[in-house]
Structures are given as C-alpha cells and as structure tokens.
Amino acid sequence: MAQAVSMAEEHSEKHKEGIGDFVRKTRGELDKTTFPSGEDVQKTVAIVIVSVLFFAAYLFVVDQGWTYIIAGLNWLITKLFGI
C-alpha cells in the first residue's frame, strides 16, 4: 500500500505542470475544434422546436385518451357494483 502511494506521488511530481502549460495545451485543443455555422444552428433549432411541438401534441392526445378510458372504467365499475 505504501509503495503504491509513493509511486503515485512520484508520478504526480514528474507530471506537474504550471498554469501556463495548461493554458497552452487548452488553446491547442481549442484550435482543433470546429464550431457549427449559423445556418447549421438555425436548422438544428428548427428541428428541435418541431420535435418538441410534435411530442407535446402526441402526449396531450395520449393523456386525453387515458383520461377518457379511466373515466369510462370508473363509470362502468360504479354502475356494476354501485360503489
């Protein structure tokens, strides 16, 4: 156990880097990234809005259907058993 701790400490001391190295590496990674164009963002937003509206309408219809079914079952049980 002690050996593992000492090896971990040696490893962290060997690989310590300053804030400058961190910032340099971070900027290097950001240079490799690409960002979507304005047109791509607009298309994606439109797809998301249409999808949300579709699923909202679908879930509303399903919810109303279940409400109708449950109300019908409640009415049927009340008529049959008089509860």
Average pLDDT of every residue of the chain: 88
* 52 and 25 co-located in one domain: no
Per-residue pLDDT tens over the stretch 20-36: 899 999 999 999 999 99
Does the predicted model carry a pTM greater than 0.75?
Answer: no
Let me know: does 75 contact 69? Beta carbons within 8 Å: no
- Containing structural domain, residue 82: 37-83
Cα–Cα distance between 11 and 20 in angstroms, integer?
A: 20
Let me know: does 77 contact 83? Beta carbons within 8 Å: yes
* 26 and 56 co-located in one domain: no
* 41 and 80 co-located in one domain: yes
- All residues at 6 or more sequence positions from 77 whose CB lies less than 8 Å from its CB, including other chains: 83
* 45 and 78 co-located in one domain: yes
Identify the band that residue 13 occupies on the pLDDT scale cut at 50, 70 and 90. low
Cα–Cα distance between 6 and 21 in angstroms, integer?
A: 25
How many structural domains compose the chain? 2
Let me know: does 44 contact 36? Beta carbons within 8 Å: yes
* 43 and 69 co-located in one domain: yes
